[in-house]
A = this chain, B = another copy of it.
């Protein structure tokens, strides 16, 4: 078959022509049991990483290599022959997947992909191996179909996204030369809905996460003998935690909001334009109405544009059958705050610890341990790469893209910004209801096909800008 027309059209035609072969490759990739948290899968992780490196080499990438980290290897490769005036784009995905338990809840084993009604079911099909694979085949479409990429392209694929945050930050600081780029495209997100509405995420929340422990008596004591005299550490814990959010839904830690950048008018307008289906959103979690939340912000704004306070776990005292009449010796909780630009997780950590200490009664011993933290990040909503991603998505899916920040954290994104000054645009094609971290993960094949096309278009869109413009995010004056 000979295709005439623009390079983009040639690349798109290549994808159509090789669709069946590409599907077989996807199937092979999804069968690899790359569960990063499973220590018995260390070899599988390496084999998966090597498979990716080999595939990129096969389609014409250079310097494909595995770099060891404290955990699983990072895969990098590049194709840098578009010329120095063309933008250099870095693509980030991850090849590790979530654990599969509870295994018996899967209709079919998680690593035996099932294709049914134009949907693929498999662990990692949406999060994130399916999306990584789209980048492989879209690059192939340019390199094999057209003969070259219209931009300089680097890829970086990590194997620890689902369980650790340290390796990637360490990798960035150890190997900046493998990541040098004008912008980063992150494909580890989802579409707005299951009706083909593309979504561009231009920001992420950060996080600060602690364990709080309240120690009372040195062991459980009898609630009859001591109740009313010995301070109950579980009573104290709930009192302290309850006080961290006020009646307006705001975190009460002094200074917590000092660096919060409110959503701009342009962002609020973009948020308002998102066709947010409340009923669908509610049914995805099984709740009947959303929380009241922070006063002054819409539900959709709160989900990604405002910080939160959540108890992630709590435990202490008797949890068995029936009743046991004790005052627990201690009680503990895992707590976290989601952060927004420009909150500094280390500063928040200091504020939180100081505040908890200040409200702890002298009758108990309160200790706070920091468990993890990550920075928030935001790329201006009118950044040229954001707009290019939107145009490419609209071309691929035939629907205008929506714009919002993401409520979660991808540690890679703020680290890349802070360490190397590279802004990220998140454009991905998973289903927002795709059971990423649950049994029967799924993705519409329409998202897979549209995602492939969107990447082809995106490289074309970005090639129309200079390296400097993409780096700056705006046209030169």
Contacts and interface: CB of A to CB of B under 8 A. Distances in A.
Interface string A299-314: 1101110111111111
Contact of A312 (B243, B290, B328, B438): B328
Contacts of A235: 241-242, 245, 309-311
- Chain A contact patch, size range: 35 or more
A303 B225 contact: yes
A371 B408 contact: no
A474 interface: no
Contacts of A323: 209, 312, 334, 336, 371-372
Nearest to A242: B242
Interface stretch (A83-91, A108-116, A211-219): A211-219
A325 interface: yes
A325 B312 contact: yes
A317 B311 contact: yes
Contacts of A316: 311, 313-315
A217 B285 CA distance: 5
Contacts of A226: 285, 303, 407
B302 A312 contact: no
Interface in A347-382: 361-364, 371-372
Given A291-B363, A308-B223, A317 B314 contact: yes
Interface of A: 205, 207, 209, 216-219, 221-232, 234-235, 237-239, 241-243, 245, 281, 285-294, 299-300, 302-304, 306-319, 322-328, 331, 333-334, 336, 338, 361-364, 371-372, 406-409, 436-438
17 contacts: A217-B285, A217-B286, A222-B408, A228-B307, A229-B299, A230-B285, A235-B309, A289-B362, A312-B328, A313-B326, A313-B328, A314-B315, A314-B316, A314-B331, A315-B319, A323-B371, A323-B372
